[in-house]
Amino acid sequence: MLEITDRQSAALADRVAENRLRRLRSIKPLTGLLVESAGRTLINFSSNDYLGLSQHPLLKERAAAFLSRYGTGCGASRLVSGNLDCYDALEEKLAALKGTETALVMNGGFQTNLTVLAALADDKCFIALDRLSHNSLLQGTVLSGAKWNRFQHNDLNDLERRLEAPRARIADERWIVTESVFSMDGDRCDINGLVASARNSQAKLFIDEAHSTGLFGEAGMGLAAGKPIDLIMGTFGKACGSFGSYVACSKTTREFLINCCSGFVYSTGLPPPVLGAIDAALELIPTMSAQRLRLSQMADHVRKNLKEMGYSTGESSTQIIPIFIGDDSDALSFSTHLENCGILATAIRPPTVPVRTARIRLSLSAAHTDEQMETLLQAVRSWMGPKK
């Protein structure tokens, strides 16, 4: 068995010294958003199951129906063992909902960002990436071999300046890559402004809708749905309640990805029960405006209370609410305090977020009860530690 090298163990020792060592926590799901961890019952405020769909009877029923119809696995890549007939209907449904020519179901958001960007861009391209973009977008950018630069978060002037820089101007193609709802800050990008910047600079626009699919826009199909955007990706593992991802795009882009995107070509298709759950989620989501409204009102209430307590929640305007603390060990102590009060709310530290911006990241779900929300606020109120 491989043992780690001195260099790797030094990297782990650094993490310990910096209070940044990550550990897996064992949990047992109970009902709804309750989990049991180390013998304690906790309300989960760290799950991205924003609509509670992972426990929805229709998703479970459809997953079971697909399991019994198709079995537990796809057997190989969709190109190799044959494309299960359920994919066509699923992708048509998705494209109709997103308002795009076509859609392609893929195997997880990380893999999609990594391999779609690597397929679409090459060393003759330039990618401008929002500074707070998800790691998968950064990795995909690097893997593509394109020249790249990160613009200041949500700053369209800085974006346009970078797109006009000489090394961007000489590129064959320029791409803008960003998220519609930012995963760690819960703020939104300015989609219309980005569309205008892309037009001004003759750049292409790639939007990651991981945290917006299911929650915003027409029929809950995301902030970018219906807008003139070159390529949209999103995931099914968050508000959609299961796993997997999609690309919503033109027919020609779909054909290109089926042929040239390594994450599609060389990876086994999603397990059929997951496809069943996605199918049911796409049926339910357009009907869930009441849940979306409740979630947004809950988020406003939580933000208002946190601000009254003197906390900064940054620019959050969605179901993701950071409570900024700054120092890594303070954020960890805060998280432990919340746990002692029955709340699971993980501290997010660098390198996931910039240095000195450690935070508690709250993920609200329409499935949280009012009582659970008040328990959270009470737990936060009783913390005597420092605020940012």
Ligand X SMILES: Cc1ncc(COP(=O)(O)O)c(C=O)c1O
Interface residues with ligand X (CB under 6 A)? 108-110, 113, 134, 136, 179, 183, 208, 210-211, 235, 237, 245
305 is catalytic: no
Query: Residue 374 Cβ, how far from ligand X at the closest point, in Å?
Result: 28
- What sign does the dihedral 17-19-20-22 (CA atoms) show? positive
Which residue has the closest beta carbon to ligand X?
109
Tokens of 110: 């990380």
48 is catalytic: yes
56 is catalytic: no
Query: Residue 13 Cβ, how far from ligand X at the closest point, in Å?
Result: 27
* Cβ proximity to ligand X, 181 vs 341, nearer residue: 181
CA nearest neighbour of 182 among 44, 386, 348: 348
Query: Residue 263 Cβ, how far from ligand X at the closest point, in Å?
Result: 11
337 is catalytic: no
134 is catalytic: yes
Task: Compute the distance between CA of residue 17 and CA of residue 193 in angstroms, rounded to an integer.
Answer: 42
Is residue 17 packed enough to be buried (19+ CB in 10 Å), middle (13-18) or exposed (0-12)? exposed
Tokens of 303: 């933000």
Task: Compute the distance between CA of residue 288 and CA of residue 278 in angstroms, rounded to an integer.
Answer: 15
Kindly name the residue from 160, 187, 208, 328 that is annotated as catalytic. Answer: 208
Kindly name the residue from 46, 47, 48, 245 that is annotated as catalytic. Answer: 48
Kindly name the residue from 98, 147, 204, 238 that is annotated as catalytic. Answer: 238
* Cβ proximity to ligand X, 136 vs 372, nearer residue: 136
* Cβ proximity to ligand X, 206 vs 334, nearer residue: 206
* Cβ proximity to ligand X, 98 vs 211, nearer residue: 211
Task: Compute the distance between CA of residue 259 and CA of residue 263 in angstroms, rounded to an integer.
Answer: 10
ω into residue 351 within 30 of 0, thus cis? yes
Please state, as a whole number, how many other Cβ atoms lie within 10 Å of the Cβ of residue 21: 12
* Cβ proximity to ligand X, 114 vs 341, nearer residue: 114
Kindly name the residue from 98, 134, 204, 368 that is annotated as catalytic. Answer: 134
DSSP class of residue 328?
A: H
Query: Residue 231 Cβ, how far from ligand X at the closest point, in Å?
Result: 14
The catalytic site residues sit at 48, 134, 179, 183, 208, 211, 238
